[in-house]
Structure 1
Amino acid sequence: MDDLASIRRVADHFDLPVSTLHYWERRGLITPHRRFGQRHYDAAQLYRIALIRLWRTTGQMSLNEIVAVLADPADAPGWRGTVTARIAAIEAEMAELDAARGYLRDLLACPHEDAPEECEGFRAGVALPGPVSD
């Protein structure tokens, strides 16, 4: 048990509030060792913390999704469905961001300095209700 990291050291290393580690413990995501009443983490838990943090930031997964993925397989055998759904949501967000980037690039190329809503590239991508003419 000499290869344990204190909760403060772990929080500082991963740039997390100690309260976040406490919360993750309450949610059943991590299991610290207790030494003199203080929480300490072994290598397996440190990798788990790194994974949770990665999923929260780059994977944009909710804590409920992470709980579903990391749950005991007997309790949650469908964790792949959670991951598949998250991938689909990320792909949809990426498509929206690509569309937004396209509109913004069109606006930058617009010759109308004071009226970006008059730019042809922007107007081409906007559907208007009913028969409307300029």
Structure 2
Amino acid sequence: MEPVPISAVTRHFGLPASTLHYWERRGLISSHRRSGWRYYDREQLYRVAQIRLWRDIGQLSLDDIAAVQAGDAADGDWRETVAARIDVIEEQMDRLIAARTYLRHLLLCTQESELHECPHFRASVVLPEASRSEA
């Protein structure tokens, strides 16, 4: 396969050229130069696709991607980097599920206009009590 010019790579992956330049500066990908233009071989195209997938789906940072690509993280195996990201995603999912549950409950509240008077809301809130020394 002939090396592919940067313009074709940016069109295909929907990335600005500046992103590819930045990834190259970070050492995540490399290009070949011809007449001052960047060209990417098959291996680098797979790397671009992989980085994009890891960013979009895996929500990995570029530092995490560099550690995974290198095969190890600063503090151990690359799997630790991935496992830590899974932990963060699971925490986010828990918060999103709680938010969805609360908002669905809010939709069912019988209090039409004064939501702060919703009996279920009021029952779930713990209010501070005045201490005798402050009174």
**C-alpha distance 76-4 of structure 1, shift in aligned 2 (>3 A):** farther
What SS does the aligned partner of 1:113 have? coil
Question: Hey, what does 2:128 align to over in structure 1?
Answer: 130
Structure 1, unpaired ranges of 5+: none
Distance 2:81 2:72 in 1: 13
1:73-92 matches, within 5 Å, as 73=72, 78-92=77-91
SS at match of 1:9: helix
Q: Which has the larger radius of gyration?
A: 2
| Shift in Å, 1:116 | 2.2
State the match for 1:7 in structure 2. 6
TM-score using structure 2 length: 0.83
Residues 106 and 122, structure 1, Cα contact 8 Å, conserved in 2:
no
**Structure 1 CA distance, aligned partners of 2:85 and 2:45?**
24
The alpha-carbon distance between structure 1 residues 123 and 43, as it changes in their structure 2 partners (threshold 3 A), is: farther
Correspondences of 1:40-119 after superposition (within 5 Å): 40-71=39-70, 73=72, 78-119=77-118
Is the 1:103–1:121 Cα contact (8 Å) retained in structure 2? no
Q: Name the CA distance, whole Å, in 2 between partners of 1:65 and 1:21.
A: 17
Counterpart contact for 1:69–1:76, Cα < 8 Å: no
* Residue equivalent to 2:133: none
Write the distance in 2 (CA, Å) between the matches of 1:117 and 1:85. 38
In structure 2, list runs of 5 or more residues that go unmatched.
131-135
| 44-53 vs 115-124, greater mean Cα deviation | 115-124
**Deviation larger for 19-28 or 61-70:** 61-70
Is the alpha carbon distance of 1:130 and 1:98 closer, same or farther for their aligned partners in structure 2, counting shifts above 3 Å?
A: same
Check whether the contact 1:68–1:76 (CA below 8 A) recurs between aligned residues: no
39 and 123 in structure 1: CA distance in 2 versus 1, 3 angstrom threshold: farther
- Cα displacement (A) at 1:77: 5.3
Contact kept in structure 2, 1:31 and 1:45, CA below 8 Å: yes
SS at match of 1:66: helix
Q: Cα 1:23–1:105, aligned 2, differ >3 Å: closer, same or farther?
A: same
